[in-house]
Amino acid sequence: MTFAYPNQGTCSRMTKIELAPDHTIESVEVVGGCNGNLKGIASLLKGMKAEDAIARMEGVTCGPKPTSCPDQIAKNLKKALAAMENQ
């Protein structure tokens, strides 16, 4: 299933996520932000269970900001999992 959510409090604007039914991350694309870093993160996340990715990235901050692109990915993965459960 494919999901897209806006990011808040970061340079990036949106996270696009594709999850398999067993919660394996098939792809992540972050629109805006630090292109190379986010491509690297997306590559590392491919094949990982969403729950594991959330545990690793949730709460990561960027400089003085209370959030970061990885934190926003984690928040959006949580939203995607909740949406899958409600279907």
Residue-wise pLDDT tens digits, 37-83? 999 999 999 999 999 999 999 999 999 999 999 999 999 999 999 99
Do the beta carbons of residue 71 and residue 61 sit within 8 Å?
A: yes
Residues 1-19 pLDDT 10s: 999 999 999 999 999 999 9
Residue 72: predicted pLDDT: 98
Taking the C-alpha atoms of residue 29 and residue 73, their distance in angstroms, rounded to an integer, is 9
- Domain locations in the chain? 2-85
Length, in residues, of the chain: 87
Residue 87: predicted pLDDT: 85
Taking the C-alpha atoms of residue 11 and residue 19, their distance in angstroms, rounded to an integer, is 24
